Chain A
Amino acid sequence: MNSNFWLTNAGLETGFQFDNGIVTGTKTEFFHLLIKNGKIEQIISADEILTDDLPKKDAKHLLVLPSFVEKHCHLDKTLLGDRWRAVTPVKNIFGRFETEKTVLPTLETSTQERAEKLLDIYLKSGVTHVRTHVDLYPEVGLKNLEEVQKALQTFEGKLSYEIVAFPQHGLLLSNAKELVREAVRQGANFVGGVDPATVDGDIEASLQEMVELAVDGNVGIDLHLHDADHLGIFTMKRLAKLTKEAGLQGKVAISHAFGLGDISEVQAEAMAEILEDAGITIITSVPLGRKFPPVGLLHRKGVSVAVGCDNIFDVWSPFGNGDVLERGGGV
Chain B
Amino acid sequence: MLDNAFWLTNARLETGYHYENGIVTGTKTEPFHLRIEKGKIIELVKADRPIETNLPKREAHNYLLLPSFRDMHIHIDKTYYGGPWKAPSIPTKGLLTRLEEEEDLLPRLLPGAEERAKKLLDLVLSSGSTHIRTHCNVDPFIGLKNLEAVLSAVETYKDKVSVEIVAFPQHGLLRSKSVTYVREALRMGASLVGGVDPATVDDNIEKSLHMVMELAVEANANVDLHIHDPGHLGIFTFKRLAALTEEAGWQGRVTISHALAFADISTKEASEVAEILSHQGISITSSVPIGRTIPIPLLQSKGVSISLGDDSITDHWSPFGKGDSLEKAGTLAERFGLSDERSLGQTLGYITGGVTPLNKEGKSIWPNVGDNANLVLVDASCSAEAVARRAERKAVIFNGKVVYGALT
Contacts and interface: CB of A to CB of B under 8 A. Distances in A.
A298 B206 CA distance: 44
A329 B318 CA distance: 12
B89 interface: yes
Interface in A81-106: 83-89
B122 to A, nearest CB: 22
Contacts of B381: 83-84
Chain A interface, >50% SS class: loop
B91 to A, nearest CB: 11
A330 B289 CA distance: 11
Contacts of A83: 381
B380 A84 contact: yes
A318 interface: yes
Interface string B308-335: 0000000000001000000000110111
A86 B380 contact: no
Contacts of A24: 87, 89
Given A313-B388, A313-B389, A330-B290, A87 B339 contact: yes
B340 A89 contact: yes
B344 interface: yes
Contacts of A22: 89-90
Interface in A265-296: 288-289
Contacts of A186: none
Interface centre among A87, A313, A318, A321 (most CB of B within 10 A): A318
Nearest to B386: A84
A85 B290 CA distance: 26
Nearest to A316: B339
Interface string B69-93: 0000000000000000011011000
B380 A289 contact: no
A294 B1 CA distance: 59
Interface in B334-370: 334-337, 339-341, 344
A319 B339 contact: yes
Contacts of B90: 22
B373 to A, nearest CB: 26
Nearest to B86: A25
B378 to A, nearest CB: 12
B25 interface: yes
A317 interface: yes
A89 B384 contact: no
Contacts of B26: 84-86
Nearest to A90: B340
Contacts of A89: 23, 340
A86 B340 contact: yes
A85 B385 CA distance: 8
Interface in B8-49: 23, 25-26
Contacts of B23: 88-89
Interface centre among A317, A319, A330 (most CB of B within 10 A): A319
B390 interface: yes
A289 B382 contact: no
B389 A318 contact: yes
A87 B381 CA distance: 15
Interface centre among B90, B335, B341, B390 (most CB of A within 10 A): B341
A321 B392 CA distance: 12
Contacts of B320: 329
B335 A87 contact: no
A128 B390 CA distance: 24
Given A25-B87, A318-B384, A321-B390, A87 B334 contact: no
A329 B290 CA distance: 11
Given A84-B385, A288-B290, A317 B86 contact: no
Contacts of B390: 321
A319 B89 contact: no
A329 B327 CA distance: 14
A318 B344 contact: yes
Nearest to A89: B340
A240 to B, nearest CB: 29
Contacts of A87: 339-340
Nearest to B288: A288
Interface in A282-330: 288-289, 313, 317-319, 321, 329-330
Interface centre among A22, A83, A85, A329 (most CB of B within 10 A): A85
Given A22-B90, A25-B87, A88 B334 contact: no
Contacts of A318: 339, 344, 384-385, 388-389
B231 to A, nearest CB: 19
Given A22-B90, A288-B331, A317 B339 contact: yes
B382 A84 contact: yes
A85 B27 CA distance: 9
A84 B87 contact: no
Given A22-B89, A319-B330, A84 B340 contact: no
A329 B87 CA distance: 13
Interface string B363-403: 00000000000000000111011001110000000000000
Contact of B384 (A86, A289, A321): A86
Contacts of B333: 319
A88 B341 CA distance: 8
Interface string A52-92: 00000000000000000000000000000001111111000
A321 B334 CA distance: 12
Nearest to A317: B339
A85 B388 CA distance: 10
Interface string B270-299: 000000000000000000001000000000
Contacts of A85: 25-26
B103 to A, nearest CB: 17
Nearest to A84: B385
B389 A88 contact: no
17 contacts: A22-B89, A25-B87, A84-B384, A84-B389, A86-B26, A86-B339, A88-B23, A88-B340, A288-B290, A288-B335, A313-B388, A317-B339, A318-B344, A318-B389, A319-B334, A321-B390, A329-B320
A-B complex: 3 closest residue pairs judged by Cβ atoms: A318-B388, A86-B341, A87-B339
Interface of B: 23, 25-26, 86-87, 89-90, 290, 320, 330-331, 333-337, 339-341, 344, 380-382, 384-385, 388-390
Given A84-B384, A88-B340, A288-B290, 5 more contacts: A22-B90, A85-B25, A86-B388, A321-B390, A329-B320
